Every structure is written in structure tokens, then in C-alpha cells.
Chain A
Amino acid sequence: ETGVTQSPTHLIKTRGQQVTLRCSSQSGHNTVSWYQQALGQGPQFIFQYYREEENGRGNFPPRFSGLQFPNYSSELNVNALELDDSALYLCASSLEQGRGGYGYTFGSGTRLTVV
């Protein structure tokens, strides 16, 4: 079975620009969660998508938005980029919202640098 695939692996954007990050979930998983990991910190929950709808959101502003597609893949969009948005963005897929927390499989992440 294929794992979680994220693209691109790295990118550099300018402050004020917009960015789209992509995630293909593990085969058989129908839920995707996004996390932001700043340097030297643990991952922070951004939001979760289940059945193509947002199903819970962390403490992130509305300029962070997402989509989930019928094939369960997902996009994370960030508008009006700020320098503090520089981080590793992790996608985690799971089955049925990851009940119990044990069913999450993380991708390798997208390293975003905002200059």
C-alpha cells in the first residue's frame, strides 16, 4: 500500500503571496489532517477534512483554508503569507477521523520558507 505523499517537498514564497500544498492520503484512508511544525517545535493542528468537509480546526486564522477531493486527497491553501508561516507542513491521513489517535500516517511534509 502507498503511504502519504506530499508535494512539493520544498518551496520559497514571498511575503503576501499565496501558496497551495498538496497531499495524497494513504490507500484506504478517508480523512486528512494538516499540521504546522515550526523549527524546534512539535506539530500544531491546523484542521481536519472528512467527507470533503472541514471537521475541526485549530487556532489558525481564516487565511489558512483547505479542500478535500472525492479521492480523499487534500490541499492546504495559505493566503497573504507572513514570515511566521515559514514551517514544515505535515499531512496525516487516517480512517474514519482517526478515532483513538493511533491510526494517523504522516507524510514527509512540505518545507515552506517565506521571505
Chain B
Amino acid sequence: GQQLNQSPQSMFIQEGEDVSMNCTSSSIFNTWLWYKQDPGEGPVLLIALYKAGELTSNGRLTAQFGITRKDSFLNISASIPSDVGIYFCAGHSGGSNYKLTFGKGTLLTVNP
């Protein structure tokens, strides 16, 4: 099945550093979503974006919906150890079945 192109695959950073990850698609989406998944858990929604060009923040997290509607990025500022996990982007195109199309994920490791 289709998966979005998410990069980087993994990141190893020091506590306090900023992080940036992005996601691209060959298809247009009406909504972009960013999730975090901890081991043994399901994805938890971090940020939802609904309009091209939209920039939205949630605490130390900032995400943007690309102008072309085919890409999005997520920034995490001043990382802390609890930011460790897998981050997924997901696109939602609307239509009749409302499925989410996910990226392969970015594994973030934060060294204290």
C-alpha cells in the first residue's frame, strides 16, 4: 500500500537540541497529521493541519502544511528525554472512506 516519504528515518540528538523532520507525497492531501508512537502503544495525535500554508504549534512542537498540499514538516524545539519515540506523518484526503495514509516514521533518540 501507499506510504508517504518521511525523513529522516532516525535521529540521534542531545537533550536541548532542536529537531526537524518532514514528509512528502505524490498525492494532494486536505489534512496533514503528526502522531507519536511509544513502544507498545498506538499512535497519539500531536498536531493536525487543515489548510495549505498553515503553521500550527503545540507547546514545543510546530508543524506546517505545505503550500503544494503534498508536504509537511514537524519541528521540535529544546528536546527532552521524553520526546523519544517514533513520529509519523499522516495524510487525509477526504473522500468517501476517510482513511489515513501514513509515513514510515522517524525514530527519535534523545541523549540526556
B-contacting residues of A (Cβ < 8 Å)? 4, 31, 33, 35, 40-45, 48, 55-59, 90, 92, 94, 97-102, 104, 106-109
Tell me whether A42 and B31 are in contact (CB under 8 A).
no
Tell me whether A48 and B40 are in contact (CB under 8 A).
no
B residues in contact with A42, CB < 8 Å: 3-4, 6, 88, 90, 102-105
What mask results when residues 6 to 45 of chain B are scored 1 for a CB within 8 Å of chain A, else 0?
Answer: 1000000000000000000000001101000000111111
A-contacting residues of B (Cβ < 8 Å)? 1, 3-4, 6, 30-31, 33, 40-45, 48, 50, 88, 90-92, 94, 96-105
Q: Least Cβ distance of A32 to chain B in Å?
A: 12
Tell me whether B33 and A101 are in contact (CB under 8 A).
yes
Tell me whether B3 and A41 are in contact (CB under 8 A).
yes
B residues in contact with A99, CB < 8 Å: 94, 98
Q: Least Cβ distance of B10 to chain A in Å?
A: 11
Tell me whether B101 and A45 are in contact (CB under 8 A).
yes
Given contacts A45-B99, A45-B101, A48-B98, list 13 more A-B pairs with CB under 8 A. Answer: A31-B98, A33-B100, A40-B105, A48-B97, A55-B97, A56-B98, A90-B43, A94-B98, A97-B97, A100-B48, A100-B92, A100-B94, A108-B41
Closest residue of B by beta carbon distance from A94: B98
| A19 CA / B39 CA spacing, docked (Å) | 24
Tell me whether B90 and A101 are in contact (CB under 8 A).
yes
